Chain A
Amino acid sequence: MQVKDRNRNRRNIGLLALIALVLQLGIAPAITLGLGHPNFMFVFAAVVALSIGGQTGVVTAFVAGLLMDLSSTGPLGLSSLLFCISCYVLGMEVRDRIAEEPGMTVIPFAVAALGVSLCYGIAMLLYGASESLLEAIVFRALPSTLLTILGYLPFLFVMGRAGAGPLRGGGGKHRSRYTLGNR
């Protein structure tokens, strides 16, 4: 039973990853504020961390960060490092936060997104990709954070409406997530 449920989780995570990747590669380039673009891969990683957390959340964050690094010109491994740490922190609470209190997840998500953007900005400054700290923060990190938070809201809405943790095998608020029969 548990195996079946995990397979379903994997399928749902895979679907969410695909949506996030399409948004990141296809749509994010067209959405700009200052020099910032939304980071849908972080949104995906955070959604998994807030829904499932634990080992799955960290590994998903690593893969999402790696994909983000591969699609950008920044140093390979930097996004994955930041995603892992932030998603580990986001996934520390032992419950499905998105399903239980979706609105309350906005603040931790925003803090995590800001942390990731700022750390990435400082790292890129040290890496030589940006000329000043002010520019890195004002023109890039903050707009990027704002757009990422805005990008999180639709995910939150969909996940919240889906009810009892769609990433955890749940199909809705009033449906049992474990049955003997095929669903």
Chain B
Amino acid sequence: MPLTGKGTASRQGIRRGETHTGGRALIVTVVLSLLLMTLGTREGPAAVFSGARSVFQTVTMPVRYVGSLVTAPFTAAGNIMANLTTDQETLSELRAENQRLVARNAELEEAALSTERLEGLLELRSAYSLTSTGARIISGSNDSWSETVTIDKGTSSGVAVGMPVTDSAGVIGQIIECGPSTSLVRLIIDENSGVSAMVQQSRAQGVLKGTATGSLRLTLIRTDQTVEVGNTVVTSGLGGVFPKGLPLGKVVSVEKSAGALYYEVVVEPLSNADSLEEVLVITAISEDQRATAEDIAEADEQETSGLTKDDALKPLQIEEDDEEETSDTDW
């Protein structure tokens, strides 16, 4: 037996019955939000928040697993399609037939590709004598402001914050948060990422930074050093986080602005962030994988000679462009 009428009238009736318009709740929640934001910037509470994020990651791991399982076939099909579209212009009906066959065999191909990737990881591991543990990527970044992936290994597997992560092609990122069974990896293409790197051929050292476009920028390479398109960029080992010599990317463009002290070097990462699946977490770095005293001295020398050269250029730079003086100071 209905107690009230149906439809709009009853809904409005209920609404009128609600005494709270949300004003008080808004004030309380806004204050709470601001408090969280403020505390998040302080060192002590920030660690607590980091712990909360780790717990949240662990609790929601099954959800991410389910999501990755659901989206995996689509992602795989997307990758296959992306690879095929390069030649699509030159093919017609045969291509369509091929695509159907490829889609039909996607599952088997995935298994084969997975094996290949694992073999690649093993090769990389033995080639660089890496002390590492294998992990599987279970989720990508779910917000628009960071380039991260979640892996299925955490502190219980010996993984810790700061450890480098590679795939078979080279370095992909670094662990920034760690839960008991999952970890968050910031990819090198993230704008907040920075890796000590050097050009393999000329040994010119700089810092590799991520950009919004998905490419990388190699900064602090002075214009009197040598960088060419096609050169390989590898980790320099400075800083002691990444093992020395791991591949990062290929130089795709080198530009020099008029009066600039540094090249603008664009690097294409060797790993495709969209198709990452199995990775290695480097859990320890041996002494011979760290930058040697010679490397550090070389970097110092590069810096010192840069300063000397910059000092000599300073009057000219100040006359030409005030911004260059700022850049000089940063260096």
B84 interfacial by beta-carbon distance below 8 Å: no
Mark B279-309 against chain A: 1 for CB-CB distance below 8 A, else 0.
0000000000000000000000000000000
Query: Which of A103-111, A149-157, A173-181 forms part of the interface with chain B?
Result: A173-181
* Given known A80-B36, A95-B12, contact A73–B176 (CB-CB < 8 A): yes
B133 CB within 8 Å of chain A: no
Chain B interface residue count, Cβ-Cβ cutoff 8 angstroms: 65
Q: Are the CB atoms of A144 and B144 closer together than 8 Å?
A: yes
Residue on A with the closest CB to B71? Answer: A30
Nearest A residue to B214, CB-CB? A35
Pairwise interchain contact B75-A25, C-beta atoms closer than 8 A = no
Please count how many residues in chain A sit with their CB below 8 Å of the partner chain's CB atoms.
76
**A139/B3 in contact, CB under 8 A:** no
CA–CA, A144 and B142, complex, Å: 11
Shortest beta-carbon distance from A157 to chain B in Å = 20
B36 touches A77 (CB 8 A): yes
Q: Complex formed: what's the CA distance from A151 to B3 in Å?
A: 37
Which residues of chain A come closer than 8 Å to B315, judged between CB atoms? none
Indicate whether B52 reaches chain A with its CB closer than 8 angstroms: yes
How far, in Å, is A139 (CB) from chain B's closest CB? 5
> CB-CB < 8 A to B68: which residues of A?
26
Q: Does B199 contact A (CB under 8 A)?
A: no
Contact among B11, B15, B37 with A75 in the assembled complex (CB-CB below 8 Å)? B37
Interface 0/1 of A75-98, CB less than 8 Å to B? 111101100110010011011100
Known: A27-B71, A140-B145, A168-B11. A22 touches B25 (CB 8 A): no
Contact assessment for B2 and A37 in the assembled complex, using a CB-CB cutoff below 8 Å: no
B112 at the interface (CB under 8 A from A): no
Q: Are A96 and B11 closer than 8 Å at their CB atoms?
A: yes
Q: How far is the CA of A139 from the CA of B20 in the complex (A)?
A: 39
* A27-B67 CB under 8 A given contacts A59-B29, A88-B22, A96-B11: yes
- In whole angstroms, how far apart are the Cα atoms of A75 and B34 in the complex? 10
Residue A36 at the B interface, CB < 8 A?
A: yes
Q: Is B63 an interface residue (CB 8 A)?
A: yes
Q: Chain B contacts of A143 at CB under 8 A?
A: 144
Residues of A within 8 A of B10 (CB): 177-178
How far apart sit A88 and B28, CA to CA, in the bound complex (Å)? 12
B33 contacts A29, C-beta separation under 8 Å: no
B14 at the A/B interface (Cβ < 8 Å)? Answer: yes
CB contacts between A and B, total, < 8 Å = 201
Known contacts A26-B68, A75-B37: does B29 contact A84 (CB below 8 Å)?
yes
The reply on A13 being an interface residue by CB < 8 A is: no
Q: Are B212 and A131 in contact (CB under 8 A)?
A: yes
- Bound CA–CA A181/B3 (angstroms): 11
Asked if residues B4 and A37 are in contact (CB atoms below 8 Å), the reply is: no
B143 at the interface (CB under 8 A from A): yes
* Given the contacts A164-B6, A176-B2, A77 and B212 also touching, CB distance less than 8 Å: no
User: Assuming A30-B140, A124-B145, is B6 touching A57 (CB within 8 A)?
Assistant: no
Question: Which residues of A have CB within 8 Å of B6?
Answer: 164, 174-177
**Residue from B8, B16, B144 in contact with A141 in the complex, judged by beta carbons closer than 8 Å:** B144
Chain B residues 33 to 54 lying within 8 A of chain A, measured CB to CB, are: 33-37, 40-41, 49, 52-53
Per a CB cutoff under 8 Å, which of B37, B148, B176 touches A78? Answer: B37
A84 touches B30 (CB 8 A): yes
- Look across to chain A and name the residue whose beta carbon is closest to the beta carbon of B1: A180
> A7 an interface residue at 8 Å Cβ cutoff?
no
* Chain B CB within 10 A, most for which of A29, A62, A91, A170: A29
Cross-chain contact A81 with B37 (CB below 8 angstroms): yes
Q: How many angstroms between the C-alpha atoms of A4 and B11 in the bound complex?
A: 16
A26-B68, A100-B8 as given contacts; A84 in contact with B26, CB under 8 Å: yes
In the complex, what distance in Å separates the CA atom of A182 from the CA atom of B234?
69
B66 interface residue (CB < 8 Å to A):
yes
Complex Cα distance, B191 from A139, in Å, reads 13
Nearest Cβ on chain B to A169's Cβ, whole angstroms: 8
B331 at interface (Cβ–Cβ under 8 A)? no
Q: Is the CB of B60 within 8 A of A95?
A: no
CB-defined contacts of A75 to chain B, threshold 8 Å: 37, 40-41
The answer, yes or no, to whether A165 is at the interface (CB within 8 Å) is: yes
Which of chain A's residues has its CB closest to B21's CB? A54
Report whether A94 and B15 are in contact in the complex, using a CB–CB cutoff of 8 Å.
yes
| B145 pairs with A58, CB closer than 8 A | no
| 13 further contact pairs, Cβ within 8 A, besides A30-B74, A88-B26 | A25-B63, A25-B67, A26-B63, A30-B75, A54-B25, A57-B22, A67-B56, A80-B29, A85-B30, A96-B15, A131-B212, A165-B11, A175-B6
Which 8 A-B pairs rank lowest in CB-CB distance, beginning with the nearest? A26-B67, A77-B36, A29-B140, A81-B33, A176-B2, A55-B20, A72-B143, A30-B71
Can you give 5 contacting A-B residue pairs, CB < 8 Å? Answer: A25-B67, A35-B144, A62-B29, A81-B29, A95-B11
